[in-house]
Amino acid sequence: MTRVLSLGECMIELTHRTADELVLGCAGDTFNTAAYLARLTAPEQLRVDYLTVLGDDHYSERVLAAMRAEGIGTELIPQLPGEQPGLYLVRTDADGERHFTYYRSRSAARNLFGSAATSAEFDGYDLVHLSAITLQILAPEARERLHAALARYRDRGGRISFDSNYRPAGWSGRQQAAAEIERFWRLAAIGLPTFSDERALRGDDAPESTVERLRGLGVDEIAVKDGARGCVLYDGERTAHLPTTPVHPVVDSTAAGDAFNAAYLAARLTGTAPAEAVARAHQLAGTVIGHRGAIVADEVLPKRPARARPNG
């Protein structure tokens, strides 16, 4: 069995159905990827675990229940007394573009890697997945602990997938973000960036430029997401532009990139070639943006494999 660990923050999500009606869910970029990854793979093929920190309140229990319902392992997640998860609200405009309002300054996940008690080694996992949002919620000393643990894991043969997911509000400035994110790119084997993020952060003029820069940092395999224009893939030997079929209408673009990441990783981890993995990733992302919320209902996706639901 292949084992994957996704780490970061899962928040309470409130999505506008109308101007005055909100629907409650649980979401967060690396959790979204973990959830779709679990849905796309049979339990005998792949196990997905999640690492974060939660509190002991009702909404922390709601997050844990959501993870377990997806078949995601929660054994590594500490619950700190008196803490609670972050919260965000999402609304979409007429074009399906998302707009977020966050309440996460005291999210329990900010304690991740904050002490030896919430640090972890990653031995036993075939892949560890994280994003720059994982990095930006951590204090500098916690980022150092995470970086050191990932470096040890990589040096022992572990593989890391990384989505740079640049959000300016989470950093003191672009220079700090660029420097920190580059340090983690140097550890990654699989790169899953979004071109608009790389253009905003590093000034890349085309997805191919992003590919060349990340290859120079040692990333082995790179899929640069570029919205309706598709993806630029470096498969370890050559770079190619792989188009996608535009989706109309786009109802909600939330989690499109996270779903792409999940489908790409699911395909690659089960032996599919990179170009076909991109095709499957485009298909899932296109389905997700045709529905509201980060995690869409089961019935709009291909039938999921039966998966035992972890109790811990």
What is the maximal distance between C-alpha atoms in the chain? 52
Q: Which residues of 266-304 are buried (b: 16+ CB within 10 A; e: fewer)?
A: bbbbeebebeebbbbbbbbbbbbbbbbbbbbeeeebeee
What is the three-class DSSP state of 136?
helix
d(C-alpha 199, C-alpha 114), whole Å: 31
The number of beta carbons lying within 10 Å of the beta carbon of residue 64 is 21
* CA 260 remoteness from chain centre: 9
- Sheet with 221-225, strands from edge to edge, namely 46-51, 2-7, 127-131, 159-163, 190-191, 221-225, 231-234, 239-242
20 given a catalytic annotation: no
The first and second tokens of residue 99, run together, are 């707009």
Of 20, 95, 258, 298, the catalytic one is 258
- Quick one: CA torsion of 175, 180, 183, 184, rounded to 10 degrees? -130
* Phi, psi dihedral angles at 293 (to 5 degrees): 90, 160
* Phi, psi dihedral angles at 170 (to 5 degrees): -90, 0
Query: Half-sphere exposure of residue 245, counting CA atoms within 13 Å on the CB side?
Result: 9
Q: Show which residues are catalytic.
A: 258
